[in-house]
Amino acid sequence: MSNYSNTLIMMKKNFGKILVLVVLLFASSSYGQQDPQYTQYMYNPLVINPAYAGNRGVTSILLLHRSQWVGLDGAPRTQNLSVHSPIGLGKVGLGFSLVNDALGPARETNFSGDFSYTIETGAEGKLSFGIKGTLNLLDVDFSRTNPFNSGDPFIQNIDNKVSPNVGVGLFYHDSKFYGGLSAPYLLQTDHFERSGTTGGAETFVAEERIHYYGLAGYVFDIGRDVKFKPSTLVKMVAGAPLAVDVNANFLFYDKLTLGASYRWSAALSALVGFQVSDGMLIGFAYDRESTDLGNATYNDGTYELFIRFELFKEYNRMLTPRFF
C-alpha cells in the first residue's frame, strides 16, 4: 500500500479528533471573548453591568436577537431578555437577564439576577453600585460536528452542566453623561467537566475568564430637533485582543435614531432606531466584518434586532426621553 493511501487512512481514523480540536480552538478564541457581542450595547447595559438595574426610572423590558456571520454554518446566534426596575423610592434597583448563546455544537444559557443601590452625587448626578449573580448552563453536542468515529472516547458530550458566577459594577449618570465599569463574571474557572486528556494533561471544553468592561456616552444638543449621542464600549479579557466599539448616533425629533459604529479591527455597523411611542422603542443594526471573514462569499454579515417596552406610572412618567 502506498504512503499516500496510508496517509488517507490515518487522516480518516483521526478525523473526529482533528475536528474536535478545531472546534475547541475556535471555541477557545471565541470563549477567549466568551461573552456575547452586542452592537446596540447602549440600549442594554444591564447584561454587562448590574449597577444599571433600575437606572431608567421605570420598569424596562428588552428583547434582542442577534445572528452573527449569516450564511456560515454553526455561526453564533444570541437571544437576550432583560427586565429591570427601581424599587420603592428609587435607590434600589432589581433586574433579571436571560441570555441564550449558540456557537456550533455548544449551547450556553445564562440566568442572571441583578441588584443595585444608587446614591445622589449632586443636583443631577447619580452613582450606582451593583452586584450580579449568574447560573450558567452549558450543552455541547459533538454529534453536530459529524465526527468520523462517534465512539471515540476523546469526544464526550456535555449535558446541562451548571456553573455559578458573580459580578460587580459601577454606573454613573446625569442628564447628559453616562459611564460605567464592570466585571460581570469574576470567577475564573475551568468550568464543566474535562473533555479528555492530551499527553497526560486534562483538557477542558471552556475556560471562564474575567471580562472587564468600560462604557461611556454623552448627549449633545446640536439643534432644536437634533441630538448627537456618541458612545464607546471597551472590553478587556486575558488571552484576547482589546475590543473597542466607537459609536455615533443622531436622534431626530426625539423619534428617529440613525448612526454608525466601528469595532476596532473587526467590523463596521449601521444602526437605526425608532421611538414608536413613549413606552416602545425598536432598533436594528447590521454589521459587516472588516477582516478577511467579511469578504467570504458565505458570510452575509450580522443582523441584530431589539424591541424595548417601558411601563410608566402617571406620577413618574418621563417628561423628556432618556437616551441611555
For the chain, which residues make up each domain, given as ranges? Answer: 37-144+155-187+208-311
Mean pLDDT of the chain: 81
Q: Which three cell numbers stand for residue 187?
A: 470567577
d(CA 62, CA 283): 11
Cα–Cα distance measured from residue 172 to residue 235, given in angstroms and rounded to the nearest whole number: 18
pLDDT per position as a tens digit, 164-215: 999 999 999 999 999 999 999 998 755 444 545 545 555 555 566 788 999 9
Alpha-carbon span 44 to 78, nearest angstrom? 14
Task: Specify whether the CB–CB gap between 167 and 156 falls below 8 A.
Answer: no
* pLDDT of 27 higher than 50: no
Q: Give the pLDDT mean for 236-242.
A: 83
What is the average pLDDT across 38-64? 95
Is the pLDDT at 7 greater than 80? The verdict is no
pLDDT digits (tens, 9 = 90+) for 244-302: 999 999 999 999 999 999 998 888 999 999 999 989 999 999 998 877 665 666 678 89
Q: Which CATH architecture has domain 37-144+155-187+208-311?
A: Beta Barrel (2.40)
Give the phi and the psi of residue 52 in degrees, each rounded to 5: -75, -15
Query: Is the predicted pLDDT of residue 319 greater than 50, yes or no?
Result: no
| Percent of the chain clearing pLDDT 70 (strictly above) | 72
Whole-structure pTM value: 0.80
